[in-house]
């Protein structure tokens, strides 16, 4: 009797935990024994280490990646009457955060081959109300920060890097979060550096901003029970910091494993003969797929490995029927979301973003994938008939 084909999950974090279980359990036990759960030495240590990892001077641990964006904009004084330029193809938190501080998101379409904001289209979106640009380093690859910095400098704009999916990614050797006035990170469990729940961080080179951020994350308080600002409860838990302190030394190894998995995907897809180029998206892929690219000078950490397929939904059902995990990031471009209708955008305004929402599909890419699993993913995709 022949063996059944192996199942491939989209993500499996259990092997990572098993490898570090003793250290992780001891780290959490130490926090429990200390009874120091809010901020404290574990958080301070993690903040210092992440700031150093990102090549900046200050790290301010917060409660989530979304809260990192919110508190960063609060610290920069962005609010009512201000516009922030960003991308419509991202997780909801990017634009939701802009709206929550009272500012107006102004969207710019993406590059179809990187899924990142098209820097060549930013200047046309700038008005007298524009205060900041919030590029998103989506799926683990950085947006064109050289071009974005040039535009920001010319127009005296702030830069807030949304690096929720991109800690450790680089551009010409320089890490994400070291280009802008502030960088925002997420430690949601699915991220390359993931905790055991929600967590985030804002990093910056500016000592004054760092001081303001520390106040704002703790109800605007300094000293205790004195409030020079109105802040919020955006604090990072000590338990999360303890877990992340254990994991951080392994992050570069996990990045490399993801990159090796991406390289094997490319090799297997090329051998299967079904790869197409991004230029063919409009004319039809004829059953093929477009693989993610890594732009020259970029170090892509592959938080996600996202392909294009013109028969995406049917392909997804075929994969799931064959016990191969996959996911859509994201099924609806943000300018089409019901809650943002008042912004005045309509279908057709951002064709590259809309095409990505209709055709993109994320494949398993986590570090503990085996070669056999990757080969199985490609085998299932290759067997798909529209």
pLDDT digit string, tens, across residues 263-293:
999 999 999 999 999 999 989 998 899 999 9
Beta strands at 289-290 and 275-276: parallel, antiparallel or unpaired: parallel
For residue 307, the number of C-alpha atoms closer than 13 Å in the C-beta half-sphere is 27
Q: What is the pLDDT of residue 2?
A: 56
- Residues 114-119: what's their mean pLDDT? 98
Rounded to 5, what percent of the chain is helix, strand, coil?
Answer: 40, 15, 40
Tell me how far apart the alpha carbons of residues 283 and 355 are, in angstroms, rounded to a whole number: 12
Coil, helix or strand for 193? coil
Position 168 confidence tier, pLDDT thresholds 50, 70, 90: very high
Tell me how far apart the alpha carbons of residues 320 and 72 are, in angstroms, rounded to a whole number: 39
Q: Edge to edge, what strands does the sheet with 158-162 contain?
A: 58-62, 200-204, 182-186, 158-162, 130-133, 83-86, 104-107
Nearest alpha carbon to residue 249 among 56, 53, 48? 53
Note the residue count of the chain: 386
- Which parts of the chain fold into alpha helices (H)? 14-34, 41-53, 65-75, 92-100, 145-155, 207-216, 238-247, 251-272, 312-321, 351-359, 371-382
Which residues, other chains included, contact 347 with Cβ-Cβ below 8 Å and sequence gap of 6+?
336, 354
In order of their start, the domains of the chain are 14-248 (3.40.640.10), 251-382 (3.90.1150.10)
- Residues 158-182: what's their mean pLDDT? 98
Beta strands at 104-107 and 83-86: parallel, antiparallel or unpaired: parallel
Which helix (H) or strand (E) segment holds residue 281: the answer is none
pLDDT of 3 > 80? The answer is no
Tell me the C-alpha to C-alpha distance, in Å, between residue 11 and each of 78, 87, 111, 179, 191: 37, 26, 27, 31, 11
Position 360 confidence tier, pLDDT thresholds 50, 70, 90: very high
Tell me how far apart the alpha carbons of residues 100 and 66 are, in angstroms, rounded to a whole number: 11
Tell me the C-alpha to C-alpha distance, in Å, between residue 26 and each of 29, 42, 267: 5, 13, 41
pLDDT of 386 > 80? The answer is no
Tell me how far apart the alpha carbons of residues 87 and 114 are, in angstroms, rounded to a whole number: 12
- Residues 248-254: what's their mean pLDDT? 98
Beta strands at 130-133 and 298-299: parallel, antiparallel or unpaired: unpaired
For residue 126, the number of C-alpha atoms closer than 13 Å in the C-beta half-sphere is 18
pLDDT digits (tens, 9 = 90+) for 310-331: 999 999 999 999 999 999 999 9
pLDDT > 70: percent of the chain = 99
Rg of the chain's alpha carbons, rounded to an integer?
21
339, 23 contact by CB (below 8 A): no
Q: What is the pLDDT of residue 1?
A: 45
pLDDT digits (tens, 9 = 90+) for 197-242: 999 999 999 999 999 999 999 999 999 999 999 999 999 999 999 9
Which residues, other chains included, contact 19 with Cβ-Cβ below 8 Å and sequence gap of 6+?
none
132, 159 contact by CB (below 8 A): yes
Tell me the C-alpha to C-alpha distance, in Å, between residue 306 and each of 54, 115, 310, 326: 25, 9, 13, 10
Confidence (pTM): 0.96
Nearest alpha carbon to residue 20 among 277, 192, 246, 231? 246
Task: Taking the CA atoms of 251, 142, 237 and 94 in sequence, report the sign of the dihedral they define.
Answer: negative
pLDDT > 90: percent of the chain = 97
Per DSSP, what are the bridge partners of residue 306? 362
At residue 24, φ and ψ (nearest 5 deg) are -65, -45
Examine residue 330 and say whether the peptide bond preceding it is cis (omega within 30 degrees of 0). yes
pLDDT of 301 > 50? The answer is yes
């Amino acid at each position: 009797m022949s063996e059944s084909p192996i199942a491939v999950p989209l993500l499996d974090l259990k092997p990572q935990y098993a490898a570090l279980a003793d250290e992780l359990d001891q780290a959490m036990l130490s926090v429990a024994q200390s009874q120091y759960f809010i901020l404290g030495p574990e958080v301070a240590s993690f903040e210092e280490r992440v700031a150093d990892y990102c090549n900046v001077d200050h790290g301010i641990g917060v409660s989530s990646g979304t809260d990192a964006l919110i508190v960063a904009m609060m610290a920069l004084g962005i609010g009512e009457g201000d516009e922030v330029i960003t991308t419509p193809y991202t997780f909801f938190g990017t634009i939701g955060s802009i709206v929550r501080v009272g500012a107006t998101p102004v969207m710019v379409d993406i590059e179809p081959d990187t899924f990142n904001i098209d820097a060549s289209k930013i200047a046309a979106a700038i008005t007298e109300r524009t205060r900041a640009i919030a590029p998103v380093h989506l799926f683990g690859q950085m947006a064109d920060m050289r071009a974005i910095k040039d535009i920001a400098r010319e127009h005296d704009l702030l830069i807030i890097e949304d690096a929720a999916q991109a800690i450790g990614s680089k551009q010409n050797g320089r890490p994400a979060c070291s280009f802008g006035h502030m960088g925002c990170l997420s430690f949601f469990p699915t991220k390359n550096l993931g905790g055991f729940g929600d967590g985030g961080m804002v990093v910056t080179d500016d000592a004054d901003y760092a001081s303001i951020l520390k106040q704002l994350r703790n109800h605007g308080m300094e000293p205790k029970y004195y409030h020079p600002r109105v802040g919020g409860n955006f604090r990072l838990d000590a338990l999360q910091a303890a877990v992340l302190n254990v994991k951080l030394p392994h992050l570069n190894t996990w990045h490399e494993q993801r990159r090796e998995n991406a390289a094997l995907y490319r090799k297997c897809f090329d051998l299967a003969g079904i790869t197409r180029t991004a230029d063919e998206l409009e004319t039809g892929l004829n059953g093929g797929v477009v693989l993610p690219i890594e732009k020259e000078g970029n170090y892509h950490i592959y938080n996600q490995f996202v392909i294009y397929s013109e028969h995406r939904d049917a392909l997804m059902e075929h994969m799931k029927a064959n016990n191969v995990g996959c996911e859509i990031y994201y099924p609806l471009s943000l300018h089409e979301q019901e809650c943002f209708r008042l912004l005045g955008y309509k279908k057709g305004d951002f064709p590259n973003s809309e095409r990505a929402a209709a055709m993109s599909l994320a494949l398993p890419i986590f570090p503990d994938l085996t070669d056999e699993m990757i080969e199985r993913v490609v085998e299932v995709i290759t067997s798909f008939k529209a």
